[in-house]
Amino acid sequence: MNRIQSRSDYKLFRLADRTSLGIKKYRVFNFTNDVLLFEIRLRKLEFATNCSKNPILHLYRKIQFKRISVKLGYSISPNTIGPGLSIAHRGTIVINGGAQIGANCRIHADVNIGTEAGKSASAPIIGENCYIGPGAKIFGEIVIGPNTVIGANAVVNQSFSEGNQTLGGIPARVISQNSSEGLLTKGFQA
């Protein structure tokens, strides 16, 4: 499930995102948390794009999303990330619109998930419960398996579809058989 298709999906995504960020309940002071606000606006835009037939609402959500994206330095395309998104903190994050990222993904600053040079449609597919460390670069038509840890500053340009492993280096290779268990909070339970 990577797309919001109904109001119940929207509520599920919001709850999973909040849980993954470690926020138990919405409170007034939570809305000073820029990352939480970004994730809320991302999900509202996805709902407006996929479910609403009101063009004014869609435009309003798009403007709200663009403003907070610029403020935080994020360039994340809607409908690319499953429920349970956890962005660690502010910092440049770029995710191509063709990428598909599974549920319960934790993303740190300076991450770039994109296509190969000159190929606009060949973006990565990343499994669920993945931890993407600071400065990681993931690009090309590749598959990253579930429960994978991508270490800080790793450059991943080939598939590692088995999952349950840690990748690191330039270019990335398997450096351990440790999975992402314990490195992230799973807000979405399938």
Say what the pLDDT of residue 25 is: 73
Say what the pLDDT of residue 109 is: 94
Give the pair of three-digit tokens for residue 155.
Answer: 């450059």
Q: Residues near 97 by Cβ (< 8 Å), separated by ≥ 6? A: 77, 79, 80, 123
When comparing pLDDT for 130 and 31, which is higher?
Answer: 130
Average pLDDT in the 20-44 region?
Answer: 82
| CATH number belonging to domain 88-181 | 2.160.10.10
Which residue intervals of the chain are DSSP H helices?
Answer: 7-20, 34-51, 55-72
Is pLDDT of 47 > 60? yes
132: β partners: 107, 150
| Residue 90 Cα to chain centre, angstroms | 14
Say what the pLDDT of residue 174 is: 94
- For the stretch 51-96, pLDDT in tens is 988 999 999 999 999 999 999 999 999 999 999 999 988 889 999 9
Is pLDDT of 1 > 60? no
Residue 127: how many CB atoms within 10 A of its CB?
A: 23
Say what the pLDDT of residue 185 is: 87
CA distances to 14, 40, 122 from 167, rounded to whole Å, are 29, 30, 21
Q: Residues near 150 by Cβ (< 8 Å), separated by ≥ 6? A: 130, 131, 132, 133, 136, 138, 144, 156, 166, 167, 168, 172
CATH 2.160.10.10 residue spans of the chain: 88-181
Three-state DSSP at 166 gives strand
